[in-house]
Chain A
Amino acid sequence: MLIMAIAFSISAMAQEIEGDAANGKTLYNTNCASCHKLDKKMIGPALGNVTERRSAEWLVKWIINNQELRESGDEDALAIFEEYNGSVMPAFPGLSEQDVMDILAYTIEGSKPKEAEGDKTAGAPVAVAEDEGDNTMLLIILAGILLFLVILLARVKNTLKQIKGEPTSTLTEDANILTRTALKNPKILTVLTIVIAVVFLQQLYAGLMSVNVDQGYQPEQPIKFSHKLHAGENQINCSYCHYGARKSKHSNIPSAGVCMNCHMQIQEGPKYGTEEIAKIYEAVGWDPEAYAYIEDYEEKPVKWVRIHKLPDLAYFNHAQHVTAGGLQCQTCHGPIQEMEEVYQYSSLTMGWCINCHRETEVQVESNAYYKEMHEKLKEKYGEDAEITVEMIGGLECGKCHY
């Protein structure tokens, strides 16, 4: 009964708010969302069912101009101001009273539990990290047992031979005889050849892998980061996160600190909810509840899996291509803005590099560095010849190998 009563009273209070929750949602997202969440404390308090705590009238006053309310000496207003260490909430003189009502309606609507979703989260199995364990020890023990058996059998055989009065042989002699006979046997030889060939091929494969001849390589990353969402839908510039690409030889993998620039506010993603974003918090030691960094936290770097890996014998410089050459990232990395998971788009072989250097035109006109060189090149190749990277020495070995 008591529960019923409370529920009723809530609905009774809620009924006082007459507003359009749909319009409220839009207004909320544009004006409030950067500091408030419905269910959690952020820069400001959680706003879910705020109408239960404060009267609508007070809220309207506070939202439209909280400073005025504070100056009027309203105790509640001063208390809340103190609670959030005097961080000032901006005034919203642009909002009409009805707008505020709409927002408040949304705070009620938005915090109603979504039944379907609720079931899902409740029933979702907790991911248990599989502990594969290290089985090297097991193998060593097995090998040990086998070796022991071999020795044991050899001794048994010798004892039997001794009893029979036959000459005994040592283990190495046995092994020698075995190898000699085996090598004379064409079948064993064939099998051996095949084994060796397979090992050779496997090594070749591993060799190619190590120089990253691995087009299409698409490993699973520790965080299900979606370039499609960030670069494609949200149109975040590549160099916002990979800022090194413009300046340095490396296009850096962004530090988790860079993620935090946005994800301090955006604590929930559209696809995986909080699960993936929580991994960033885990790395930097951010407590989303307290909205603060955890003190003395041992940071855990995110172990990304490297996809593009040129061998050490080739020198590649991002800045040369991005800043000096004016290339788009997509030229080599493919339609990254459409990739849910990143894969190696280009072959990254030397032929691929060379081909591009043969075809790509150098922006000699727009860069003063090339001014003098361009004059000479015009003499050499004609007034309006297309100056390719090759013509300015882009195919020379020492440009990439040193």
Chain B
Amino acid sequence: MAENKKYWRGIAELENPELTEKLGANEFADDLPTSEFLGDKEKLESSSTTRRDFLKYMGFSTAAATIAACESPVYESLPYVVAPEEVIPGIANYYATTYFDGYDFSSVLIKTREGRPIKVENNKLAKYNGGANTRVHASVLNLYDATRLQKPLAAGKETTWAELDDAVIKGMAAADAAGKQVVLLTSTVMSPTTLKLVNQLAEKYANFKHVAADALSYSEKLDAIEAATGKRALPTYDFTKASVIVSFGADFLGDWTGQRVSGDYAKRRVPGKDMSRHIQFESNLSLTGSNADKRYKVTQAQMGNELVALHNAIASAKGKRTLPAASSKYAKEMDSIAQELIKAGKNALVVNGANNADYEHVAIAINQMLGNDGTTLSYSERAYFRSGNDRKAEALVADMKAGKVGALMVHNLNPVYSLPKSWAFADALKKVETTVAISQKNDETASLCKYVAAENNPLESWGDYQPVDGYYTLQQPVIQKLFNTRQLEECLMSWTKESGSYQSFLKNNWGSSILGSKLWSEALHDGVFTSNAQPADGAVLGAATNESDTTATANSGTTGSVNLDASANRIKNAKAPKFELNFYAKVGMGAGILANNPWLQEFPDPLTRISWDNYLTISKADAVELGLNNTTESNGAINGMYVTLTANGQKLEKVPALIQPGQAKGTVGLAVGYGRQGAGKVADGVGVNAFTIMNGAHSAPVEIEVMTDAEEHGFASVQLAHTMMGRNIVKETDLQTFLTKPAQSESGDGWNQKPVFETYSGPMDADNANLWDDFDHETGHMWNMSIDLNLCDGCGACVIACHSENNVPVVGKEEVRKHRDMHWLRIDRYYSSETTEETASEEGQSAIDMYADMEEPSENPEVFFQPVMCQHCNHAPCETVCPVAATTHSQEGLNHMTYNRCIGTRYCANNCPYKVRRFNWFLYHDNPGRFGDNYSMNDDLGRMVLNPDVTVRSRGVMEKCSMCIQRIQLGKLEAKKNGVALKDGQVKTACQSACDSNAIVFGDVNNKESQVFKLKEDKRMYHLLEEVGTQPSVFYQVKVRNKRA
């Protein structure tokens, strides 16, 4: 029954079973009209939507939908809440201040943008040290060093100022109560207000002592000056009045007693009748020696004999008593030098470089005979750049060892690093109960001290200085303190419970004892101040470190009056060692205080052209004797062998040796300031610490042992060619020829002959023999630059100024070894060679032999410095080969480089005859993993130093000198805003304003009144590689040496 049952799905099925059945069989009621659509070919083709289109649309709409969902990035702009009156965003402010770090002293202007110091400029108002040296120009970067101490430390752990003050005061009181000494150990102190505070501390503690010592000491020299003149202070030198300069090892252009004289020296180096004559006796080849008209190689031990010989030559010519003397190496020359000096009379100057009392006595005697006191040097206007006293420092260490010192405060000095190792300062430090380092870094000394008072950077501090009698400078902070730090004076005020700020203390002290009728704001604005008033409270410089210590004079054998004969006898009887080691400070490193500065580390030494290192400089002859050599790798990188040095009873291992032309035989040189520990990641472990084998004197007998089993050391050198190979890259002549002969002559023997091309239409000069269309250079400005090779002393302040102005990256040692240094401005150094084309043809040498010999610099070469930056050719080879027109020419005579257009083919660099284009091989910024050493581009704090007006270039683009186009544009804009014509001198490039020798002059040659136009018309003017026909906008002035036949 069950199977007969029928169910209907609906009433319709019951009523119309056929239809339901039919529908059930067919899923779709009607056929889809596919055949109708696809079958009709015509219709299909006329349809605008194909399957491909459909996919395209779909893809597009997906993408569009995704993109529409993107949000554009939101950038916030935070204005000031209350804008400081003097700050307009985008406009730089300049503040006059003083830079002093215990070693370098300079009156400077600090350029700040939106409150950030970004550049150091020279203070032209300053009478002394207004030209910042290479290191001071770089010092602005050290402000942003994140490895600076950010908080005070106690036993290596962070603490508060209140706790530190408490502990230090207790420590001092305990020491004083126990009858032990309370000692403040500093570098030279030149500040009258600081000394006032020191005296206040002295009043509080009966056993207080202030000891000053310098990293590179001139203690013995000062002793000699004291014995001879009654005051333990250096004389001031006036090189503008010096017609004849004879220097015995004094590197006064590089690094000497602290007075910066290069600007004054350069004033007398302008070729002409007034040009000075400079004779240098030295053992290391120094910056000063390379600028000398005549340089004699002498060992330091022999130097004294030469000094005595000169003394005797002058004395006998003047009919005065001569001194006992050993034989002079240059007896014959000495007579003519003496004649020159006598002729110059009071305009002559003899300077001594050694920290040796006997030498200084002879030098003083020579100057006295010449009667130059009051002209070229002055004992009435004393300088206080160096006033450290080594005997006192040594006595202090002895006292510390004996447990006589209860509290020691160290400031601006790193005794563990720089004091003689034989004194064993680090051991003695352990015997002092309370040790305090006032330091910016947790460095060699600070890390051994119980308390570390985190110190301000000089740019964050107030201060005053009296570098010279009656001459004062002021220091003002140019930025708020970045960290929780204090300056020495603030510490002293807390420790003496002096209330108020140091700023007001300083201002009050100036108001009461220094300023006189001058306004404080005026003095602060100028940064410098000349006064005759002496500061009150006995805070007179010179007196602070000089308590007329009689043992001083006894030690140097000049009790009461100076015994010259005794000095001469000691000089005569001194034995010359087989090898002597001469310590020196490199232009880029000084005493190593600013070591953690990548700009300075990468700065190539002007002479060796090596960066990121110190090394033993050795003469070729000695190197051959010892079996030392320098090898060159296939990519051109130089390697050197290691030696072990033993001097002053101390050993220094793994010192790489470098053959240095001009190094006196029997001498070697080693720069201090390297081998730091605790200075920061950039400096630590770079080079070796020469201070460990130094003992006060700048010279010592040394034993050299070659480490034959060690690997070779890799140097990072930026210049491989030593000589000019007979080319006229640096044109040179002597003064007589310059004064008497024509620059160009028909016969072709002028001293500044222009290249001439033989063409079908007769001889033509390079300017006319060309295929190019000329640009219009008459309309508007035409920027040119003149570089005077006579005034340039090669110091490299311009290189650092360029670095900081133009955000030039630092690439590190390994990259420099691959010749990938990025300096926009380099200073080429060339040595003269014994072989010239004339000598070769006389000797009948073949061309190959001749050029091979020409590569070798002379034993005692003449040195040439030549700053080379983009020459801004008006027929530029780089412009024509750029496939994307990223480098183009401007109406104003500049060669523009457009970074964002550059695709990095490097054709331009290959086609540049001057090799001034630099390629960004890597991402040098925002790349802390690889280029973290360059903190100016790789950490947030360091980046504050970048110039916001200049692009930071990225990887894969070419860059080069832009002639500081940002400054040109700014200068033009200022003139436009004021509606006046642009005056000559209103636009200065960074290198120009850094050069205190005025070797670089920049300006508009379409302005016929401009200095640069006059220099372009000068007969000394020549273009670098003029024969290439590039018509550069940069030109050079022929170097003229004041030679005597």
Could you tell me which A residues sit within 8 Å of B by CB distance? 194, 197-198, 201-202, 205-206, 209-210, 214, 217, 219, 243-244, 247-250, 252-258, 283-284, 299-306, 309, 312-313, 315, 317-320, 323-324, 366-369, 371-373, 376-377, 380, 392-393, 396-399, 401-402
Contacts and interface: CB of A to CB of B under 8 A. Distances in A.
Given A255-B83, A323-B977, A393-B892, A401 B898 contact: yes
A205 B71 CA distance: 10
B90 A209 contact: no
Interface in B69-106: 70, 72-83, 88-91
A368 B980 contact: yes
Interface in B288-336: none
Interface string B43-68: 00000000000000001001100110
Nearest to B964: A402
B780 A306 contact: no
B778 interface: yes
Given A248-B89, A252-B89, A255-B79, A201 B897 contact: no
B23 interface: no
Given A305-B74, A313-B951, A402-B950, A396 B88 contact: no
B776 interface: yes
A249 B981 CA distance: 21
Most buried by B among A301, A318, A397: A397
B90 A244 contact: yes
Contacts of A369: 972, 975-976, 979-982
B923 interface: no
Nearest to B59: A194
Nearest to B976: A324
A367 B982 CA distance: 12
A375 to B, nearest CB: 9
Given A369-B982, A397-B888, 16 more contacts: A206-B70, A219-B74, A250-B89, A252-B83, A252-B90, A284-B81, A301-B78, A304-B76, A304-B77, A304-B78, A306-B75, A324-B977, A371-B981, A398-B888, A398-B898, A402-B949
A154 to B, nearest CB: 33
B981 A368 contact: yes
B72 A397 contact: no
B965 interface: yes
Prevailing SS type, chain B contact patch: loop
B890 A393 contact: yes
B20 interface: no
Nearest to B953: A313
Given A397-B898, A398-B897, A398-B965, A301 B81 contact: yes
A376 B72 CA distance: 48
A309 B89 CA distance: 16
Most buried by A among B79, B80, B972: B79
B779 A194 contact: no
B75 A396 contact: no
Contact of B88 (A252, A283, A302, A397): A252
Interface in B528-555: none
6 contacts: A194-B63, A255-B83, A256-B82, A396-B888, A397-B886, A401-B900
B973 interface: yes
B980 A198 contact: no
A372 B781 CA distance: 10
Nearest to A260: B82
B54 to A, nearest CB: 14
Contacts of B83: 252, 255, 257-258
Most buried by A among B91, B776, B901: B91
A380 B898 contact: no
Contacts of A248: 88-91
Nearest to A204: B67
B708 interface: no
A309 B473 CA distance: 43
A257 B81 contact: yes
A299 B900 contact: no
Nearest to A315: B949
A202 B70 contact: yes
Interface of B: 59, 62-63, 66-67, 70, 72-83, 88-91, 776, 778-780, 886, 888, 890-892, 894, 896-901, 949-952, 962, 965-966, 969, 972-973, 975-977, 979-982, 1006
Contacts of A313: 899-900, 951
Given A244-B89, A305-B74, A306-B76, A397 B896 contact: yes
Contact of A302 (B78, B900, B901, B965): B78
4 A-B pairs with least C-beta separation: A398-B896, A248-B90, A257-B82, A324-B976
A309 B950 CA distance: 17
B66 A214 contact: no
A141 B891 CA distance: 62
B860 to A, nearest CB: 44
Nearest to A211: B900
Contacts of A323: 976-977
B973 A396 contact: no
Contact of B973 (A244, A319, A371): A319
Contact of A380 (B779, B952, B976, B977): B779
B77 A376 contact: no
Contact of B778 (A300, A376, A396): A376
B948 to A, nearest CB: 9
A309 B78 CA distance: 14
Contacts of A210: 73
B80 A255 contact: yes
Nearest to B889: A396
Contacts of A256: 79, 81-82
Contacts of B901: 397, 401
A398 B890 contact: yes
Contacts of B891: 392-393, 396
A156 B780 CA distance: 82
B973 A198 contact: no
Contacts of B900: 313, 401
Contacts of A320: 973, 976
Contacts of A309: 75
Most buried by A among B778, B888, B900, B952: B900
A77 B89 CA distance: 48
A253 B83 CA distance: 11
Contacts of B965: 398, 402
A337 to B, nearest CB: 21
A82 B891 CA distance: 71
Contacts of A373: 779-780
A287 to B, nearest CB: 15
Nearest to A298: B81
B80 A399 contact: no
Contacts of B949: 249, 315, 402
Contact of B82 (A244, A252, A284): A284
Contact of A401 (B59, B82, B780, B899): B899
B78 to A, nearest CB: 4
Contacts of A401: 896, 898-901, 951
A197 B890 CA distance: 41
B502 to A, nearest CB: 24
B66 A202 contact: yes
B205 to A, nearest CB: 38
Contacts of A301: 78-81
A227 to B, nearest CB: 16
Contact of B72 (A214, A300, A302, A393): A214
A247 B91 contact: yes
Contact of A396 (B72, B896, B952, B962): B896
Given A319-B973, A398-B965, A302 B90 contact: no
A223 to B, nearest CB: 12
Contacts of B892: 393
A299 B62 contact: no
B66 A304 contact: no
Contacts of B779: 373, 376-377, 380
A212 B83 CA distance: 27
Contacts of B950: 402
A57 to B, nearest CB: 45
